[in-house]
Homo-oligomer: A and B are copies of this chain.
Amino acid sequence: MQSVHIVSAYDEELKYLSKRIAAMGGHAERMVEQAISALVNSDPELARKVVEDDTVLDQGQREVDDKAILLIGKRQPMATDLREVIGVIRISADLERVGDLAKNVAKRVASVGDAVQPVSLYRGIEALSDLALTQLKEVLDVYASRSVATIGFVRDRDDQIDAMYTSLFRELLTYMMEDPRNITPCTHLLFCAKNIERIGDHATNIAETIYFIVTGDQMPVERPKGDKTDRIVMPIS
């Protein structure tokens, strides 16, 4: 009977950690949504809220880390069970970074200002963050269901995010070259776009961790990491 008791206590503790990850994921999604909304609508109040909200993820990561390490020491899990706990540590670190990136977007809201930017720019930022958020949501759904069979979708969406970020990068440089008054706000928007692209990368990291938890293997096919904007050079008109 005792071993049954131990196993079930272990399962309870693991379930608790998974729930904390799900809660952190939901919180991170909300922060990203609100940061973009604050940016697009020049809403400093909402931006401030996002900045304050980030402490929840910092504390969440700390708690999950501490509990996960205690759990390994106490229950000495093996194989899949051990991978589950290591996975929790990794995923909470990625979600904490997503929070940092959302916070960084929010902190730039005042510097972008309500200078009338072309509508297409904000549409581009929104479209990019929609893609990154969908990536994050679907990856967290896979974490809940553990159905890694279809996880290949993350690679395709990663490519879409990179392509959209690249076109936004070009567009922002163009506006900067048209009028020096655009340089400051567009530079901040460039960093916002970069942050959103990084959020997509963290979602992909989480997918890789889930694949590792379930299969014990690395996810096949190395994805070409990072963006492709490093080679963009704009012609001078």
Size band of the A side of the interface? 35 or more
Q: Which of A162-200 touch B at CB < 8 Å?
A: 173, 176-177, 180-181, 183-184, 187-188, 190-191, 194
Find A187's partner among B62, B184, B190, B226 (CB 8 Å cutoff).
B190
Q: Which of A11-40 touch B at CB < 8 Å?
A: none
B89 x A69 contact (CB < 8 A): no
Once the chains are docked, how many angstroms separate the CA of A190 from the CA of B229?
13
Once the chains are docked, how many angstroms separate the CA of A63 from the CA of B149?
25
B232 x A111 contact (CB < 8 A): yes
Which residues from chain A sit less than 8 Å from chain B, CB to CB? 58, 62, 69, 72-73, 76-79, 82-83, 86, 89, 93, 100, 103-104, 107-108, 110-111, 113, 173, 176-177, 180-181, 183-184, 187-188, 190-191, 194, 218, 222, 225-226, 230-234, 236
